């Protein structure tokens, strides 16, 4: 059985994952409107991953005799500026999510809840990858300049 404290924290993380999903969907729709279907495709994949994270966390809570909650999700931004600005925001957001997951791991450790620690370690590893990927895209976009954006857009459509 999971502690009330961890259950509450995981439910907050479920909300954060759903907010992240909406954030990436908003970005994807913006990129689509701006004519960058490859960037939009990549962001829609991120949207799907965030929904999977929320679902996995809810399922985990059920397995641990907790009660998952799907609460209200706050509004996300809708205007983004340049492609570079969008992906700089993606990188910053992934760093923020990493901090949230790390806090959950610390909380599970303090609670001596090894099953939850083990469950969360996969997210820690995934966040390292997500941050690196986002930062790599930011660097590619910076190096590519305006003329190279269409090339990167075409590459991201293959994801």
Q: Which domains does the chain have, with CATH numbers?
A: 4-156 (1.20.1260.10)
Can you read off the two tokens belonging to residue 8? 């509450």
Of 13, 50, 52, 54, nearest to 28 by C-alpha is 50
Which tens digits make up the pLDDT trace of 24-82? 999 999 999 999 999 999 999 999 999 999 999 999 999 999 999 998 899 999 888 99
The two most distant CA atoms of the chain are separated, in Å, by 55
Angle at 93 between CA 89 and CA 99, to 5 degrees: 150
Is residue 100 predicted with pLDDT exceeding 80? yes
Q: pTM score > 0.75 for this model?
A: yes
Write out pLDDT tens, residues 9-25: 999 999 999 999 999 99
């Amino acid at each position: 059985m999971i502690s009330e404290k961890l259950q509450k924290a995981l439910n907050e993380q479920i909300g954060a994952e759903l907010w992240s999903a909406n954030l990436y969907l908003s970005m994807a729709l913006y990129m689509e409107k701006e004519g960058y279907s490859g960037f939009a495709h990549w962001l829609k994949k991120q949207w799907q991953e965030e929904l999977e994270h929320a679902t996995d966390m809810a399922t985990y809570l059920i397995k641990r005799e907790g009660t998952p909650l799907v609460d209200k999700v706050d509004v996300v931004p809708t205007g983004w500026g340049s492609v570079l600005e969008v992906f700089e925001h993606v990188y910053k957001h992934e760093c923020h999510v990493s901090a949230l997951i790390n806090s959950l791991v610390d909380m599970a450790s303090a609670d001596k809840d090894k099953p939850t620690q083990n469950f969360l370690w996969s997210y820690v590893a995934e966040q390292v990858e997500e941050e690196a990927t986002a930062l790599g895209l930011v660097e590619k976009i910076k190096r590519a300049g305006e003329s190279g954006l269409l090339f990167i857009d075409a590459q991201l459509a293959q994801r």
